[in-house]
Amino acid sequence: MVNPRRLKSRQGPSEMTGNKVKRYASAMRNQGGYGDFPPVEAADVGNGNLVIVDGHHRAEAAMKAGIPEIPVNVTAVSPEEAA
């Protein structure tokens, strides 16, 4: 479990669908937490930095819904892979 604010995104706001984030956040609030959403996939790029690989909308929605921790599958990558 990871605080979603700790996750770094390589996707800018213009690449995310605001309606999708709103729908996900509403569903999370209604479920009382992260619920049935799949874990976010992240790469550990060193120094404790986690970069989202898949799940940008879910992570953003969790922050908007005020969820303190979400499930994240973390994969360690080499500095070359992270670049």
Place of tokens 């956040």: 25
pTM, 2 dp: 0.87
**Number of residues in the chain:** 83
Place of tokens 């992570």: 59
Q: What is the DSSP string of 9-77?
A: -SS-GGGS-HHHHHHHHHHHHHHTSSTTPPPEEEEE-STT-EEEEE-HHHHHHHHHTT-S-B-EEEEE-
Domains of the chain: 4-82 (3.90.1530.30)
Interval 5-52: pLDDT, tens: 999 988 766 667 789 999 999 999 999 999 999 999 999 988 889 999
Interval 55-82: pLDDT, tens: 999 999 999 999 999 999 999 887 677 6
